[in-house]
Amino acid sequence: MQERFSLRNLYLYLVCLITLVIAIFAGVGVVRNAVELAYPEPGHHVPMLGEEPGMSAEDQQRLHRAIQDSQRRQSVLGLISSGALLLIAGPVYVYHWRRVQAELPSRQAPPEEPRAPA
């Protein structure tokens, strides 16, 4: 029981916990940004920031397109950022979790089968 809670194992468990939480938040970010790309926020018919009452319809359309492009770009950047975080945190978690499992004393060794004499 003492070996299980050594400083080294405590460190390994802590790294596993932190990377698991990071991976969960990164996964949520990937899903959220993918949904934003698939279903962008609809444009509203109320005057937007930068629009003036005297703007031509063409200028208003250009402004709406620029805003939509900006939203799309932010979603792509968020998707890439979350994906990269997931790709980094995942293997770090797996590596440390395997180290924890390898260092745990085996609970009970399976009984060996008797070998037939050669």
Coil vs helix vs strand at 39: coil
Residue with the larger pLDDT of the pair 95 and 53: 95
Q: What per-residue confidence (pLDDT) applies to 111?
A: 57
Is 52 part of any domain?
no
- Does residue 49 register a pLDDT over 70? no
Residue with the larger pLDDT of the pair 52 and 60: 60
Q: What per-residue confidence (pLDDT) applies to 73?
A: 93
Average pLDDT over residues 79-85: 95
Element of type H or E holding 35: helix 7-38
Is 85 part of any domain?
yes
Is 17 part of any domain?
yes
Element of type H or E holding 74: helix 57-103
Is 114 part of any domain?
no
Q: What per-residue confidence (pLDDT) applies to 3?
A: 58
Is 50 part of any domain?
no
Percent of the chain with pLDDT strictly greater than 90:
46
Average pLDDT over residues 43-63: 69
User: Which residue type, as a one-letter code, is found at position 84?
Assistant: A
Average pLDDT over residues 63-92: 92
Is 117 part of any domain?
no
> What is the number of domains present in the chain?
1
Could you give the CA distance from residue 72 to residue 61 in angstroms, rounded to a whole number? 16
- Does residue 104 register a pLDDT over 90? no
Q: Which residue range forms the structural domain that includes residue 97?
A: 3-43+69-103
Could you give the CA distance from residue 52 to residue 59 in angstroms, rounded to a whole number? 10
